[in-house]
Structures are given as structure tokens and as C-alpha cells.
Chains A and B, each alone.
Chain A
Amino acid sequence: MKTILTPAEAARMIPDGASVMVGGFMGCGSPHKTLAEIKATGLTLICNDGSMPNGPDGSDYYGVAKLIHNRQVRKLITSHVGLNPEVAEQHNAGTLELVLVPQGSLAEMIRAAGAGLGGVLTPTGLGTLVQEAEHVHSVVEVDGRQYLLERPLRADFALLSGHLIDRRGNIWYKGTTRNFNVVMATAADIVIAEAEHIVEAGGIEPENVVTGGVLVDYIVDGGCADG
């Protein structure tokens, strides 16, 4: 059985300067309760996007937008920041390092790290600015076709969110919330999964387990967002 933490207890595990992957897409499927408690600064944040202000949950800053607004992020590795104007402001002011990665490459770089692969060969980004980025090792030709060799990407922590999580850490996701949560569960030293509902072992049918509990180190009792 996994240790169950409060959002504040989970957040206190994260030290200043840590690298943190956060699941979610425009905040949908992010571990909102845990994010709200994080006090650490100087973070390297790996997340699909910079989320947005004015969340559908009534928050002023939705998901990781809170960390960005509070200037807790030193470096952001992401695919899209167009809906959060604070990212551009901080980047232009020189206080936030921004690394833009194509969304599919980002997912696959994380998957590669979690699956023990040495990199990803993808045609995406060939001949563009991406080719010059730090996450690209080189251009590789295989059987006459060119690819970017993208490095695997892992982090100190992965913060996930699941609708149902059983006491063994098995996760079932609701709607479109699985997004990056699934790959991030495999690619961090410490994986913390925030549950909207914690259920007993067996409370999720084996066929419906999307993320296996062996990948999860801690469960956060997040309380339910939909009553």
C-alpha cells in the first residue's frame, strides 16, 4: 500500500531548484491541489504548456500558471505558451529560460526516458530552429531518411493527477486528463499522483488501469473537484 500524503506534505518534498514534470494540457488533468501548495523556487518545469490565467475551476491562475505567476520557475520546457502571457513577459525580461519542444517530440522524449531508450528519431523539426536546440543530439540518417535524434527527458519529480487512484497506486483517468500524465509516470525519480478519489485496491478493474501502481511512489488525497 502506498503512503498517502496531503497536498502540502507532497509539495514540501520538492526542494528549490528541482526539475518537475507536471501532467496536464492547458491545466486539464493537472494536480491542482498539490501545485497550489508548492513553495519551492528555481524550478525546472516540464509541462506540455504554460496553462492559462482564469481557470474553469474559478482560479486566477490555472495549474502551472500559478508557479509561473509566483516566479517559482527558472526554466520551462514546453510546447506551447500562447495562452499565458506571463511566460513571454518573464522570458523577455530574462528571468525565465524557455525551451520550446514540438508536442509530439516532448511526449516521446519523456516516454523514451521512462522506457530505457537512448533517444528518439523523429522527422519533426528537421530544417527548423528546433534542430539547433539543446535537446537535439544530432541529425541522423537511417536508410536514406533524415531524423532529429532527440535526447530522452526525465525529471526529479513527476506530479500527476488521476480521477480514481487505488491504494496500490493504480490510476484511472477521466476524459482527456490522461494526456502527458501517462508518460510522465514513467520518467521521474519520485512520482506523486494526486487523486480526486482514493479507492480500495481492486476498486479499479484491471482492464481499466491506465497507469500501473508500480510507477507511483506517493498518493496525494486531493479531494474531489466535481463533488
Chain B
Amino acid sequence: MDKDSIKGFIAARAAKELNDGDVVNLGIGLPTLVPNYLPEGVSVILHSENGILGTGPKPGKEDAQPLYVVDAGGSPASADVGGSFIDSSVSFGLIRGGHVNCTVLGALEVDAEGSLSNWIIPGKRVPGMGGAMDLVVGAKKVIVAMEHTAKGAHKILTKCRLPLTAVRCVDMIVTEMGVINVTPEGLLLTEINPEFTVEQIRDATEAPLRVSENLKSMGG
């Protein structure tokens, strides 16, 4: 698979986790592809933490109002039919209050306990946490959707080495190699992309990885 099809493959699998009517917040990058792969009959309410509940399609150049309606990345956005604009306090009240069913986001590192690092590389990149810390603490389900390694370097670790975004917050990791659930006993491989073997996935994963007795194929 090339880079783009890997991203689409991961996004498509993450999309299967969403239920009709879910309120969902998507991180930047790969997670923004998730709505393109929603299963038939599933429609979700997208939350943009800067102030849209019910984010609509990306507006065309003529409809864009870049001074007035943007998403959490600062790019032109729209409110869907039935959507609303909210202020930051209400927006994060929805997040922390458990009114967001699911967030799908990327990671620099995630570990065997489900702790997540995705906001800072000390001495190199200090972009800030933005809304990420609130999202992974508040959303009912936290899905990390990312490539399994960073050009071969492990990202799924025994213990995160970078500063944490939150402790024990991740429920599920979806990569091009498989689907991993975070359980009290550690990481559990529940689905495998048939292009890979369990051994290959274990090699690409620093954390100990148990394999589910009902290991399924990740295809499609």
C-alpha cells in the first residue's frame, strides 16, 4: 500500500467504530478522513472544539467565510443542517462532560497502559496541547488512528517516553497492521491485516502484545 491508501485503510477501519448519531471529534491529519468511510446508514455529529456542534462539509471557495466560520485548524468550515455554533466554555463542557461519544486522533506514542503522548517533543516541537488533553480525558471512547511505526521506529511502547497527553486514556489503536484493544491486562491484538503476520506486528510493537483467541481479519 502507498502512503495515501494506508491512511484511507486506517480511517476506514476507525469509521466502523462509530454509531449512528454519535457525537465525534476528529484530530488533525489522518482522522479527518474518517467521515469519508462511514458505513451505510451511519451518520455522526461532528464536533469542532473551536465552536461547531454539527460541522458540515468543507465549503467551496465561493461559500467559504474564512473570517467567520472556521474549524479547529483555522480552515474555512461550515455548520451542517441542524448544527450550532457554541462558545469555548460550552464546547469543552461537552467534551469533559461526556457528551462526546468518541474522539479519533493521532499519536506520537501510545503505551501498554493506554497512556498517550501527542503534544510535545521537548527541545524540538512545542506546539501546545490545544484541546487534546481535554478530549482524551473527556470523550467516552478514545481511538488512536495512526501508522504502526514512524518509519520503522516504535510508536506503541511499553511506557511512553515523551511527556504525556493523559494517563490511561486510550481504548483502541487502529493501524495499517491491525486493531489493538487496550485492556487491564495490556494490549490485545483483536484484528490483523492479512498482509502481515503476528510476528511482524510484534516486531513493530515495543509493548508486549497478546493475541485474541478470536483474532479476526481486518480486511475491507
The residues of A with any CB-CB pair to B shorter than 8 Å are: 25-28, 48-49, 52, 56-57, 78-83, 88, 91, 98, 100, 102-108, 111, 122-130, 163, 173-183, 210, 225-226
| Contact residues in B for A182 (Cβ distance below 8 Å) | 87-89
B152 in the interface, Cβ–Cβ < 8 Å? no
B54 to chain A, nearest CB (A): 12
* Complex Cα gap A104–B126 (Å): 18
Known contacts A104-B92, A104-B93; 14 additional CB pairs below 8 A are A25-B51, A25-B72, A28-B50, A28-B66, A48-B88, A49-B128, A98-B126, A104-B91, A104-B133, A105-B134, A107-B91, A128-B167, A181-B87, A225-B67
The residues of B with any CB-CB pair to A shorter than 8 Å are: 48-52, 65-70, 72-74, 76-77, 85-89, 91-93, 95-96, 120, 125-134, 137-138, 163-167
A121 to chain B, nearest CB (A): 11
B3 to chain A, nearest CB (A): 22
* Complex Cα gap A110–B126 (Å): 23
A80 near B127 (CB under 8 angstroms)? yes
A103 near B70 (CB under 8 angstroms)? no
Determine the residue in chain B with the shortest Cβ distance to A32: B67
| Contact residues in B for A81 (Cβ distance below 8 Å) | 126-128
Of the residues A122, A123, A180, contact of B88 by C-beta under 8 Å? A180
Determine the residue in chain A with the shortest Cβ distance to B92: A104
User: A25-B51, A107-B89 are known contacts. Are A56 and B67 too (CB-CB below 8 A)?
Assistant: yes
* Complex Cα gap A111–B70 (Å): 23
B68 near A183 (CB under 8 angstroms)? no
Of the residues A98, A124, A210, contact of B137 by C-beta under 8 Å? A124
Of the residues A25, A28, A130, A210, contact of B67 by C-beta under 8 Å? A28
User: A102-B133, A125-B133, A127-B164 are known contacts. Are A107 and B88 too (CB-CB below 8 A)?
Assistant: yes
B44 to chain A, nearest CB (A): 19
* Complex Cα gap A105–B131 (Å): 9
A87 to chain B, nearest CB (A): 9
| Contact residues in A for B133 (Cβ distance below 8 Å) | 102, 104-105, 124-125, 128, 130
* Complex Cα gap A88–B65 (Å): 29
| Contact residues in A for B48 (Cβ distance below 8 Å) | 176
B157 to chain A, nearest CB (A): 16
B126 to chain A, nearest CB (A): 6
| Contact residues in B for A88 (Cβ distance below 8 Å) | 125-126
User: A28-B67, A28-B74, A182-B88 are known contacts. Are A78 and B128 too (CB-CB below 8 A)?
Assistant: yes
Of the residues B88, B120, B130, B138, contact of A179 by C-beta under 8 Å? B88
A122 near B131 (CB under 8 angstroms)? no
B51 near A104 (CB under 8 angstroms)? no
A124 near B134 (CB under 8 angstroms)? yes
Q: What are 27 A-to-B residue pairs whose CB atoms are below 8 Å?
A: A25-B74, A26-B50, A26-B74, A28-B67, A28-B69, A79-B130, A80-B130, A82-B125, A82-B128, A88-B126, A102-B129, A104-B91, A104-B138, A106-B88, A122-B134, A124-B133, A124-B166, A125-B166, A127-B166, A128-B133, A128-B166, A129-B163, A175-B69, A175-B85, A176-B70, A178-B87, A210-B87
Most central of A52, A88, A107 by chain B CB within 10 Å: A107
* Complex Cα gap A174–B125 (Å): 34
A103 near B131 (CB under 8 angstroms)? yes
User: A129-B163, A176-B52 are known contacts. Are A103 and B129 too (CB-CB below 8 A)?
Assistant: yes
* Complex Cα gap A59–B132 (Å): 29
A167 to chain B, nearest CB (A): 23
B128 near A100 (CB under 8 angstroms)? yes
